[in-house]
Chains A and B, each alone.
Chain A
Amino acid sequence: MLTFFAGVAFIRNIAGSLHSRLPTLGGASQQLSCLHTSISLNSKHWEKNNHKVYPPQLQDEPRRPAEVYHSRRQIKYSKDKMWYLAKMIRGMSIDEAIAQLEFNDKKGAKIMKEVLLEAQEMAVKNHNVEYKSNLYVAESFSGKGKYLKRIRYHGRGMFGIMDKVYCHYFVKLVEGVPPKPEQSTSFDQAKEYVQSLKNRTIIHSL
């Protein structure tokens, strides 16, 4: 039994070292190794995004802004309630986001503020970000964690299965000034709608 466990640990070690060696091989092999580059939500390997290495930039290329991916798993909170907070801070600069979360009364706000501060520290320490205020929240969302199931007793000997909910929280910080959301006037929106109607094609016509 002990040899079996040692063997499993050995195999896991090899796999771990292989995983860590893969990103350092270079950008070309990176493209081959991950066939699906943008999976919906990317939540299962959010932290792995931090290990992504780009090839060195050419002289005339615009400077690529630094990106930091951070998450916290199995937070004792509901994913639906966390979503409201995540939606609030989307697109804000990190200082604004931390200020809003500090004075929000929800339980998830305190946890989210900790996550943001951790990510900011990571960015400055490991990801070559010069000014800690020069970051903005590019992506922020919540996901469902592994639930525990408990029995909820009802009358007449009936019972229900209660879920003890947990959630994950993911955030991506990008260096730079937060992009301004495009604000179109009502007239422009109406014009766009009319244009979309005009662009329709009738199938099987002459």
Chain B
Amino acid sequence: MMNLPALVQSLRFSLLRIESRLLQLTGLETQAAPCLAVNGPGLLPQIDQESQQDEEQGPGLMDSILWMAAPKKRRTIEVNRTRRRSESKLIKVQNNIEPCPECGHLKQKHVLCGFCYAKVSRETALIRQQMREMEGGPLRAPAVETVVLYEGETPSEQDREKRIVERPRKRPAWFSY
């Protein structure tokens, strides 16, 4: 076993050496020792070039393809399902459907009944066909009002100067005179 004073001495020397090395690295020491003096710029030129290169590459990196938003991990099926089946993505039940009082088919409250509309448009198509035959060509509509008369109907006082379109069938219930 080494004697204690010698141990303490060696420790002290090593600590002093570490301190001097640290001071040398940081450049804070003020010891005057013989060394070579070189005439040159204050900062080393290498550091300047590195900083310039960094500045140039900065905006370049932003434009290059490598900086693009990309998913980091695959979205699991559980995560996908919760997103696809969330309340906002499900179809809402409509509460504006009611039966049509005329025909009994279903209709939306703010829309005409589809069945009744089809029935009316079918009859209107036949009336229009008759009018086309009466006119005999395009742009030959008379400059008077038109009245549609069904079987067994005679034109009344008001219909004296109107064009009469005859339909050879009974008057439908929904077409009031």
Interface residue ranges, A against B (CB under 8 Å):
80, 84-85, 87-88, 99-100, 102-104, 106
Known: A99-B97, A100-B97. A84 touches B106 (CB 8 A): no
Rounded to whole angstroms, the CA-CA distance of A80 and B90 in the bound complex is 12
B83 interface residue per 8 A CB criterion? no
Q: Shortest Cβ distance from A2 into chain B, in angstroms?
A: 50
Which 4 pairs from chain A and chain B are nearest by CB?
A88-B91, A99-B97, A84-B91, A99-B106
- Chain A residues with Cβ below 8 Å from B94 are 100, 103-104
Q: Summarize A's interface: helix, strand, loop or mixed.
A: helix
Contact: A104 with B91, CB < 8 Å?
A: yes
Contact: A84 with B97, CB < 8 Å?
A: no
Known: A99-B97, A99-B106. A80 touches B91 (CB 8 A): no
Partner pick for B90 among A84, A100, A104, CB 8 A cutoff: A84
Interface residue ranges, B against A (CB under 8 Å):
84-85, 89-91, 93-94, 97, 106, 108
Q: Which of B84, B89, B91, B108 has the most CB of A within 10 A?
A: B91
Q: Shortest Cβ distance from B105 into chain A, in angstroms?
A: 9
Nearest to B85 among chain A residues (CB) is: A87
Contact: A103 with B93, CB < 8 Å?
A: no
Q: Shortest Cβ distance from A71 into chain B, in angstroms?
A: 21
Q: Shortest Cβ distance from A50 into chain B, in angstroms?
A: 29
Rounded to whole angstroms, the CA-CA distance of A103 and B100 in the bound complex is 14
Contact: B97 with A103, CB < 8 Å?
A: yes
Nearest to A102 among chain B residues (CB) is: B106
Nearest to A98 among chain B residues (CB) is: B106
Contact: A88 with B90, CB < 8 Å?
A: yes
Given contacts A87-B91, A106-B91, 5 further A-B contacts (CB under 8 A): A84-B89, A85-B91, A100-B93, A103-B106, A104-B91
